[in-house]
Amino acid sequence: MDSFLDLEGVSFAYPAGVPVCKDISFSINPNDIGCLLGPSGCGKTTVLRLIAGFESVHRGTINLAGQLLSDASETRPPEQRRIGYVFQDFALFPHLNVQDNVQFGLGKLSPRDAQRRAAEMLDLVRLSGLERRFPHELSGGQRQRVALARALAPQPALMLLDEPFSNLDVELREKLGTEVRALLQHLRVPALLVTHDQHEAFAIADKVGVMHEGRIVQWDTPYNLYHRPASRFVADFVGEGVLLPATVDGMGCMETELGHLGCGHAGQFAAGDAVDLLLRPDDIVHDDDSPQVAEVLHKAFRGAEFLYALRLPSGAKILSLVPSHHNHEIGQRIGIRMEIDHVVAFPRA
C-alpha cells in the first residue's frame, strides 16, 4: 500500500539554535491513524505544526498524497494544504455559536451550502439541536465535538489532533477516543494524533511513534511497542514493567532468580553476558503451588484485577496482575511463576 503522509529526515530548531525535531521519518497509509507518543517537551507538537505549515522545515521533506508540502527551500502555506487541525484547547471562537464556529472555514461555499455542510457535521458528531449555543454553554466533551466538526467541515485530506482529550476526564476521554476513531474511519480521513497518554494512543492509533528528545525511537504497532520494545526508553515509557537481572548461559538461555527461559532467543548475546530481562505484570502468574515465592509490598485494586508489587528473596522487585478474588495482605508471601511469550532483554546498564 502506498503511504499517504511521508516525513523523511525532518529536522527543526528554533532561532536560538536548540534542536527540537531531529531526523524525523515515518509514513501513514491512507485511512490509517498514526500517533506521536511521548513526554512533554519531546517535540511531538512541533512535528504537527511542521505538517500543518505553521513552522518551516529546516531539513528533510514532508509529502502528502505524493505532493511536496515542505522542504528546506519551499513551504506551502497552511491554507493550501487541505489539513484539518484540532487544538489542545479546542480554540473555538467564544463570540460565535456552534453553527457559526463550524461554518467558519466554509467561506468558499454559498451560505446555503455552508449551512448544509455544518448541519451534516453536527449530526455526525451528535450535536444536532445545539446549533445556537455558545462555547461557554457546552460541556468539555461537546466543545471537543464542535472543534472536530469544524476541522472536518472543509473535507480535509488529513486530520491533525494535538492532545485532543487532555482537558477531559478519564472516562469521557476513553469514550470520545473510540468515537473519534470510528468517525475518522467512517469518513475515510487519515489522521495523526499527538498525546502523552499511552492508553489513548493504543486505543485510537494503527501505528504509534514513541518520541524522546526530538527523535522517534520506535515507530510500530501498539502490540509491538508493548511486547517488543526496541530500547530501554520504550520499555519503560510504554506499559508497566521491571527489568530483572539475568545471565546468558552456554546454552543461550537466560538464567534468572525465577529460573531459566528464553532458550534460543538470546542470539544477540554471548555466553556469560549480563542482561536485564523485561518483565511485564502479565508475565508473572500467581500460583499457590509454585515453590517460588515473593512478598507483597503493595497492591492496587483495579476491579477485575490487583496489580501487586512483589519483592523476591534477593530484594529485586517485580509486578504481577492477579485476579481480584486473590486478595492478599501486605507482607504476605505468595507463590509465583514466570509465563513469558515475548522475551525481551537489554545489555546490563
pLDDT digits (tens, 9 = 90+) for 61-107: 999 999 999 999 999 999 999 999 998 888 899 999 999 999 998 88
Residue 214: C-alpha distances to residues 40, 47, 203, 231 (Å): 11, 9, 24, 16
Domain ends where: 235, 253, 275? 235
Render pLDDT for 160-183 as a digit per residue (tens, 0 to 9): 999 988 877 777 788 888 889 999
Q: Does 188 lie in the same domain as 231?
A: yes
**Is the pLDDT at 337 greater than 90, yes or no?**
yes
Looking up residue 53, the CATH number of its domain turns out to be: 3.40.50.300
Compute the 3-state secondary structure of the chain and give helix, strand, coil in percent, each to the nearest 5.
Answer: 25, 35, 40
Identify whether the C-beta of residue 253 lies closer than 8 Å to the C-beta of residue 260: yes
Q: Does 203 lie in the same domain as 335?
A: no
Domain ends where: 235, 250, 281? 235
CA angle, 11 then 17 then 19, to 5°: 35
Q: Does 54 lie in the same domain as 16?
A: yes
Domain ends where: 198, 220, 235? 235
Strand partners, 277: 244, 345
What is the model's pLDDT at position 54? 95
Burial of residue 111 (CB within 10 Å: 0-12, 13-18, 19+) is: exposed
CA–CA dist 209, 160 (Å, integer):
15
The answer to pTM > 0.85 is: yes
Please count the other Cβ atoms lying within 10 Å of the Cβ belonging to residue 126. Answer: 13
Per-residue b/e over 68-80, b at no fewer than 16 CB within 10 Å?
A: ebbbeeebeeeee
Give how many domains the chain has, as a whole number: 2
Q: Which residue has the cell 454553554?
A: 137
Give the domain extent around 246.
240-347
**Is the pLDDT at 271 greater than 90, yes or no?**
no
Q: Where are the alpha helices (DSSP H) in 125-231?
A: 140-152, 170-187, 198-204, 222-227
Residue 53: C-alpha distances to residues 12, 20, 29, 149, 305 (Å): 13, 16, 20, 21, 46
Compute the half-sphere exposure of residue 132: CA atoms within 13 Å on the CB side of its CA: 1
What is the model's pLDDT at position 267? 64
